[in-house]
Structure 1
Amino acid sequence: MIGSSRPARIRSSRGRGPHVLLPPFVAWLVSNLITWLIAHSSVAGDGSEVAYWTTAGRRRWDSEHYLSIAKTGYEMFRCRDRYADFPDVVCGNVAWFPGYPMSVRAVSATGLSYEISAVVVTEASLFGIFAVLWYLLGARLTWATGLTLAIGVVFPGGVYFHAMFPIATGTLALLVCIAGVKRGSWVMAAAGGFMAASCHLVGAVAVGMLLLSAFFAWQRDPWRVRIAKAGASAAIAGCGVLWTKWLMWQATGRWDAYEAIQKSSYQQSGVRQPFDEMRNAYDFPFSEWYRPQGHLPWLVEHSLGAHKSQLWLNAAFFLLVVATAVVLLIRKRRLGADEWASLILTVAIFLLPFFAGAEMSWYRNHAQMFVGLVLVKRLPRWIQVPLLACCSVQYALLASMFFAGVLV
């Protein structure tokens, strides 16, 4: 039963001290092991068994832009000025947010290469994701929390938690934001929101959630204080976007650098028709756009259209989270502050790519719906187990597309 007050326990006592980090550490370890096995099954030829452990195995198209921001900062120029045969559009790296690359730059100050620093930031963020999720689940090992953590290990699109992308860092920031709301710490919530908004446009949904938090969080405070905390935390989170714009302006002299490159080079401006975008995302011909040469491993051969089943699973997960919240509201008349935050963020993350236009990147943006696992804990075991099975299969298929080089 959803919201049962007597979850079946695997271990009766709440973890304390360093032992509380054991489940997140095991989840992080298993996540790497599973992803390595998929990479090994997806790359043909000698040396495939080490592809996952190389920095090249973690890099895809946008990774180059994040690395360039970490190394030299932002730039924007007319493509024709450097490449005579290129279309007359805007080039540069101002279409990507600075939170992740600036973290990479900070780690590189230790003497590590930018590529290794990028992997360190990603994997540290992934461990942080499991640690904060474990806190939000209550840090108590039961069937419900154990299965929820297992679903997180093979979360749809989660292969990008291991890649040189800001997805893991942004997701960690969103979870910290939720943890701040749960703890009643508007400073923590604001810090998480700031980092999320500075990592990726999708992370800016934290601003809206924090504005709404006056209605479901800070319950011990009078209304004027609740509104002040919600407004202040949302304003600080929004500064993540302002910081992004400021860095781009410093480098290019244009406050609209992000909008200019999106409109010129990627035809992404204004609000899209979401159902048209869903159809475009579903029908995008990845296997025709780039298909590996030669004999394909079995897993790759059967995964070249895995983005289609990914969209179905993402939609099912979105509906499942919403349905869980509705049932809890009907039965218990309330949701916890962290559950409200999780619900709002999950809905916004699912919808945003289809309103903004992201037919080639929605599957990695949707990986940040990981925050919805806060509500998945409330599902009965007979739903959690099939969900885990579906996520496991889809994780293998999409990760295979990634390591075969089909996804961007």
Structure 2
Amino acid sequence: MNAAPAPAEPDRRARRDRTRLGLLPPLAAWLVSNLVTWLVAGASVAGDGSAVSYWSTGSRRRWDSEHYLSIARTGYEMFWCRERHPDFPDVVCGNVAWFPGYPMAVRALTATGLPYEVSAVVVTEAALFGAFAVLWWLLGARTTPSTGLTLAIAAVFPGGIYLHAMFPIALGTLALLVSIAGVARGSWAMAAAGGFVAAACHFVGTAAVGMLLLSALFAWHGDRRPVRFAKAGLSAAVAACGVLWAKWLMWQATGHWDAYETIQAISYGQGSLRQPFAEMAKAYDFPFRSWQLSEGQMTWLVEQGLAAHRPQFWLNAAFVLLVVAAAALRLVRDRRLDVAEWAALTLTVAIYMLPFFAGAEMSWYRNHAQMFVGLVLVKNLPRWVQALLLLCCLVQYALLGAMFFTGALV
């Protein structure tokens, strides 16, 4: 008689155990990131001079957060400011300058009975944990000194204070990582879905469309050339529909297909391509210092962070150069980059440049937080470089965090 097949239950149990253990490093990174942010909040003071309570929803809200919450509550609106505010400048008011991906996720979660503010924080923190988890998978899900240091850098990533705020940064970053994972797995549907959500969350997420188009050159190797180009083109087209969905929602609410472009041009002087180096200079010199508290209300940390956007500028530039250097090192050493590394390299460079082409002189630091995807390549750097980068990121995280919690950043 043939022997009975071994039961499959032990194998399933082993896979579940490996999955649970595999979630421990990203869970630890998420907890450490929250712990560091809590400590920074405790060392800061709010705009009225009171202590900051990190666990309150108010500490996570900044200017644009109100627009995202208004979209979640009542949808889009656009009107001439003087129609409601006679003394206001003759510009366009409303919330059509912000994309719907994040607020729609917040609205969906409120179906559970949670308030909008709490739902916004839950979506943000859940997305951040997801970003750590997908990054860990892209790093190979193996605990080594290099992957451990990379995950530590992720916990205090430059601009990462906005990964905890009521903004679409965490959700958009998760979506970009999912798109990279889809390309790496050879799943055009996953890549397209991630690109769609990224593009629907923030204009920086539209970088996914370009990455997916270029994926025909470095991905889908199991397919013939026509199929590779078809998968790249189709996934990019689906990702671009994230922007079309946003514009459709705006049109439904306002009757204007160009509502986004109208408010950007009239109210914010944006919408056209800028000279990027001139925009870099404007971003570097922006007077955030004048928005700070009076000296008597400042803690030591806040005083040190009066102009923290300037070292942030240099750290972000250094990060991009390190990502490019990591790619070059891998090409010299192994004569190849894997699919995820090509995708991450493309996105990192695009995310860095997009705010300067668009003219985001007051918000580039939070847009650059989505360069988080470049950590896929940071694991290739020498460990001493990783350790130095970790130290710089930790110091800068505290300084920029102090600016955030005092209300000096938008």
Quickly name the TM-score band, shorter chain normalised.
over 0.9
Q: 1:351 matched to which residue of 2? A: 353
From the CA coordinates, give the structure whose radius of gyration is larger. Answer: 2
Deviation of the 1:299 alpha carbon? 0.1
Q: 2:211 matched to which residue of 1? A: 209
Q: Please, which of 206, 225, 241 is the counterpart of residue 223 of structure 1?
A: 225
Q: 1:262 matched to which residue of 2? A: 264
Q: Indicate conservation of the 8 Å contact 2:378/2:386, yes or no.
A: yes
Task: Supply the distance in 1 between the matched residues of 2:109 and 2:270 (Cα, whole angstroms).
Answer: 32
Q: Aligned to 1:175, what secondary structure does the other structure show?
A: helix
Q: Indicate conservation of the 8 Å contact 1:345/1:371, yes or no.
A: yes
Q: 1:48 matched to which residue of 2? A: 51
Q: 2:395 matched to which residue of 1? A: 393
Q: Indicate conservation of the 8 Å contact 1:157/1:364, yes or no.
A: yes
Deviation of the 1:290 alpha carbon? 4.3
Task: Supply the distance in 1 between the matched residues of 2:359 and 2:288 (Cα, whole angstroms).
Answer: 17
Q: 1:4 matched to which residue of 2? A: none
* Aligned residue type for 2:215: S
Q: 1:11 matched to which residue of 2? A: none
Q: 2:133 matched to which residue of 1? A: 131
Deviation of the 1:324 alpha carbon? 1.4
Q: 2:12 matched to which residue of 1? A: none
Query: What is the total number of aligned residue pairs between the two structures?
Result: 395
Task: Supply the distance in 1 between the matched residues of 2:258 and 2:276 (Cα, whole angstroms).
Answer: 24
Deviation of the 1:275 alpha carbon? 0.6
Q: Indicate conservation of the 8 Å contact 1:292/1:404, yes or no.
A: no
Q: Aligned to 2:54, what secondary structure does the other structure show?
A: helix
After superposition, the C-alpha distances for 1:19-58 in whole angstroms (9 at most, x for unaligned) are 1100111111111111000000012799736x10000000
Q: 1:299 matched to which residue of 2? A: 301
Query: Structure 1 vs Structure 2: percent identity of aligned residues?
Result: 72
Task: Supply the distance in 1 between the matched residues of 2:330 and 2:135 (Cα, whole angstroms).
Answer: 20
Q: Indicate conservation of the 8 Å contact 2:301/2:399, yes or no.
A: yes
Deviation of the 1:354 alpha carbon? 0.4
Q: 1:114 matched to which residue of 2? A: 116
Q: 1:159 matched to which residue of 2? A: 161
Q: Please, which of 334, 337, 358 is the counterpart of residue 335 of structure 1?
A: 337
The TM-score normalised by the length of structure 1 is 0.95
Q: Indicate conservation of the 8 Å contact 2:131/2:174, yes or no.
A: yes
Task: Supply the distance in 2 between the matched residues of 1:365 and 1:258 (Cα, whole angstroms).
Answer: 18
Once the two structures are superposed, the pairs formed by residues 6-405 of structure 1 within 5 Å of their partners are 16-43=18-45, 48=51, 51-291=53-293, 294-405=296-407
After superposition, the C-alpha distances for 1:338-362 in whole angstroms (9 at most, x for unaligned) are 0000000000000000001000000
Q: 1:8 matched to which residue of 2? A: none
* Aligned residue type for 2:54: Y
After superposition, the C-alpha distances for 1:260-305 in whole angstroms (9 at most, x for unaligned) are 0000110012110101100000000001134357421000011010
Task: Supply the distance in 2 between the matched residues of 1:200 and 1:136 (Cα, whole angstroms).
Answer: 23
Task: Supply the distance in 1 between the matched residues of 2:296 and 2:64 (Cα, whole angstroms).
Answer: 26
* Aligned residue type for 2:22: V
Mean Cα displacement is larger for which, 332-341 or 116-125?
Answer: 332-341
Q: Indicate conservation of the 8 Å contact 2:292/2:406, yes or no.
A: no
The TM-score normalised by the length of structure 2 is 0.94
Task: Supply the distance in 2 between the matched residues of 1:395 and 1:115 (Cα, whole angstroms).
Answer: 24
Gaps of 5+ in 1: 1-14
Task: Supply the distance in 1 between the matched residues of 2:299 and 2:264 (Cα, whole angstroms).
Answer: 36
Deviation of the 1:331 alpha carbon? 3.0
Q: Aligned to 1:77, what secondary structure does the other structure show?
A: strand
Q: 2:14 matched to which residue of 1? A: none
RMSD: 1.5
Q: Aligned to 2:43, what secondary structure does the other structure show?
A: helix
Q: Aligned to 1:91, what secondary structure does the other structure show?
A: strand
Q: Indicate conservation of the 8 Å contact 2:305/2:400, yes or no.
A: yes
* Aligned residue type for 2:51: S
Task: Supply the distance in 1 between the matched residues of 2:28 and 2:319 (Cα, whole angstroms).
Answer: 24
Task: Supply the distance in 2 between the matched residues of 1:199 and 1:309 (Cα, whole angstroms).
Answer: 27
After superposition, the C-alpha distances for 1:58-90 in whole angstroms (9 at most, x for unaligned) are 000000000000000000000011000000000
* Aligned residue type for 1:151: I
Q: Indicate conservation of the 8 Å contact 2:282/2:361, yes or no.
A: yes
The structure 1 segments of at least 4 consecutive aligned residues displaced by more than 3 Å after TM superposition are: 44-47, 289-294
After superposition, the C-alpha distances for 1:110-162 in whole angstroms (9 at most, x for unaligned) are 00000000000000001001000000000000000000000000000000010
* Aligned residue type for 1:92: G
Task: Supply the distance in 2 between the matched residues of 1:25 and 1:165 (Cα, whole angstroms).
Answer: 21
Task: Supply the distance in 1 between the matched residues of 2:273 and 2:285 (Cα, whole angstroms).
Answer: 20
Task: Supply the distance in 2 between the matched residues of 1:295 and 1:349 (Cα, whole angstroms).
Answer: 36
Deviation of the 1:332 alpha carbon? 2.2
